[in-house]
Structures are given as structure tokens and as C-alpha cells.
Amino acid sequence: MPTPGLRAFPSSANTRPPTGGFVDRTAGGDRTFPCDDTVRAEETTLALTTTYTLPRGAHRRLDAMVEGLIRNPGAMIKASEVEAFTRTSSFAPAFDKLPAAMSADDFIGALKLAMLTESATETYAVTIEERATTYDSPWLGRFIRDLWVPDEDLHHAPYRAMLMSAGIAEGELDREIADVRAKMLDYRSGDTPVHLTAYGMIQEYVTDNWHGLLGRSLRESVPAAAHLANRIKQRETLHTIWYRDMTALQVEANPRLLKHVAEAAAFFEMPGKSLVPHLEPNVPRWLDLLDNDFDRWAKEITRLLHQVCGDTKRSGELIVRVVEARGTKVGPLPPRLVRAVFDRLGPHGYGLLGEALLERAGLGYLFRDRRQTESGRAASLPSRLRGMVRRWVADQIDLGMRPTEHVEPEPAAPPAASAPASTVAARA
């Protein structure tokens, strides 16, 4: 078992959100605004305390990426697909083959979580657009308004149709949807575009996973419903990749933005906590009942972050920065001291840590293991020693993907504001 000394990723809510910075690209250069926590952008409520700078060429590449995606978005969910389900299928058989130990109420709750968090597209869009404008990043605003919003528009509809077929009144569902749409999103994972795209990448992956679990649970009982859940899952997979690529491009253009990616990962929290607080505390238990594979989850999120970083050196730096952002210790050592040591060790130190992270997540094949040379002979002593240290470090890393606290909410009562939060819920 790994020790908790080097917790790579969060499994509970943060209390210290990062705020954004401000760059001006309108005056012919890549100027970074001198920001401090007393500065506020006009017409927004965003506090600006950190910086976000990209070369002009990177903005052009992001513009081109978004335009390409808009030209070829793939097959979005169509209203006719939902109508066909409503016309031809009954959801009742789902309750004859529920996942083991899952009650009908739990299953309805899991479906409602998907429906409600998918209903808040406009809330997410406004949150992101406001920041895209603040940071003079029209590519992000165009991505959200002209691609992501239309794509997400009907993701709640299949679950609404399933729940209606299960006997829940249309008026009740629409009231719940309206309530969620009226709520404010408590977003705390950083305001710059790279914070947002990194957050979006993780969030879309978790959502993709949730739709996949629901689809799998319906595969035998109501194949038409499983097909719809998997159609949504396909879209979330694309969204994950889109956000990953936008994040990677920004980090490649300005490696200092890795700090912001680390903040987004460190303070990650699913929006279900603020939008559906009456359902979200059930998510850890529902994940277990739906037989979620937490190891695969950790592996895939680590893979995404590594792809954003581009190499093991940056992946190693990322993990130190995540721990630092969370303010947790590395064994007995404060994370700032650890980072100072690794900065002195240079790329070799971070590279070893990045390799250890990949090895811990089951992705060791992504770097060359030098225990043996390509000809099959034993590797050199330094190489073998390096491997021993790497494996020891890997054993210290806790990827922190499994929610550890199961909160049993009072029936029909919202949880206390201080209730521990999970990082997982479905959305968007």
C-alpha cells in the first residue's frame, strides 16, 4: 500500500482556490499585466493575482485548433435519437436487473445526477466565457459558445426520457432542472484559460466515466437506454481530448503555465457539489455499487496529465507543484522545500519523479525501463540503482482517486455545508 506522504491528486474539496492573472495582447506584444490581489478586471468579479501569458503564435494555433473542431465536430446527440427512445422503449426492465445491492431509489438518484448536472450547460458556459473575455482569449470563448454548448445541449435529455419512462412526472423533473439552472456554480479551480482547460479535461473524463458506468448497468436490461448513455459518453471522450489538446498547446508554448495546471488538478472539485448538493454525497457509494474501476481512473487521469506535460520531467514537476498547491507535506517535509531540492537536482530529479508517477499509475511502459538493455543484458549499476529509487518513490505516491469518506445524507434533506466532498460526480 502506498503511504499517504505524497498525495498526487485530491479526493476532497479545496479551501484555497487560486485566482487568475491578466495578459494584454492588444498593444502589439505579449505583455503581462502587473497584477496583485487588489486589482480587479472591469466588468467582472474576478480577482487577478497570477499571470497568464502566451506568445501570439500560440493564440493563433489555438484559434486554428478551435476552428478545425467547429468544422468537424462529429455526430452530436440529436433530438430525434431521444424521441426514438421515448417512442419505442420502456425503461421498466432496468429495475429488474439493477446492479447488485443497488436499490431503485439509488439508481434513480444516479440517473438524476446525470440529468441535472448535464442540465447546467449555460451555467458552465457563462463561467468559462467570462474568464475567456477577461484573459483576452477569444479562442476559448468561441470554443465554448459555438461548439461545446451546442454539443452539450441535449445531454440531459436521454436521462429525462428514461426517468419519465420510469414513472417520474415530467413536471417534477422539469422543476428540478429549473432549480439547478438557477444555481450559481461554485468554481474554485483557477481562472486563467489554462486553469479552465485543465479543469475541463479532468471533469470531462470523470463525466465520461459516469455515463459509461450507467451505460454498462443498462446494457442487458434496456439496450436502447445503454446506447444513449454511451452516445453521451462518446461526446465526453471527445471533449476530454479537446481540452487535453488545448491545455497541452498552452503548456508547450509557455511551460510556466504548468503551475496553473497543477492548481487546477490540486483544487479540482466536481460541480455537482454546488449544483446538486442533495445528490452529490451519495456519489462515492454509487461508484462502488456501479463497480467503478478506480485503478483505471487513476491511470487515465495520470495519462492525460502526462500528455499535457509532454515528458517525464514536466510530469515530475507537476506532481511536486500539485502537492505544493495543496499545502500537504511530502513525508515530514514541506512541499516548498521539496521543490527547492528538486529545482537544484534539475531535470534528472523531476524526470525520476515523473517516471515514478507513471509507474505508480501502471504506465511504466511509457518510459524506457533500463533494468535491461535492448539486447537483453543487465543494465548498468547506476541504471539499476535509479530503477530501485524510482520504484521506492512510486510506492510513496498515493494517487488519491478513491473517495474515502462515504456520507450518508438525511433523506430529503440537504447535507451540511461542511460535509466532505467527493471529486466525482457527473456533469457536462
Q: Residues in the site for Fe ion, rule: CB under 5 A?
A: 118, 152, 155, 204, 236, 239, 428
Report the distance separating Cα 264 and Cα 244, nearest Å: 13
In the complex with Fe ion, the residue whose CB is nearer, 52 or 139, is: 139
> Please, what is the minimum distance in Å from the beta carbon of residue 428 to Fe ion?
4
> Please, what is the minimum distance in Å from the beta carbon of residue 152 to Fe ion?
5
In the complex with Fe ion, the residue whose CB is nearer, 62 or 229, is: 229
In the complex with Fe ion, the residue whose CB is nearer, 208 or 317, is: 208
Report the distance separating Cα 233 and Cα 240, nearest Å: 10
Cβ atoms 124, 272 nearer than 8 A: no
> Please, what is the minimum distance in Å from the beta carbon of residue 407 to Fe ion?
25
Q: With CA atoms as reference, report the closest residue to 143 among 20, 245, 264, 18.
A: 245
> Please, what is the minimum distance in Å from the beta carbon of residue 268 to Fe ion?
15
Q: How far is CA 165 from CA 87, 168, 232, 295, in A?
A: 10, 7, 19, 34
> Please, what is the minimum distance in Å from the beta carbon of residue 238 to Fe ion?
8
In the complex with Fe ion, the residue whose CB is nearer, 8 or 177, is: 177
Report the distance separating Cα 200 and Cα 327, nearest Å: 23
In the complex with Fe ion, the residue whose CB is nearer, 204 or 317, is: 204
In the complex with Fe ion, the residue whose CB is nearer, 153 or 311, is: 153
Rounded (10°) angle between helices 258-266 and 312-326: 50
> Please, what is the minimum distance in Å from the beta carbon of residue 58 to Fe ion?
24
In the complex with Fe ion, the residue whose CB is nearer, 155 or 386, is: 155
> Please, what is the minimum distance in Å from the beta carbon of residue 266 to Fe ion?
22
Report the distance separating Cα 163 and Cα 222, nearest Å: 13
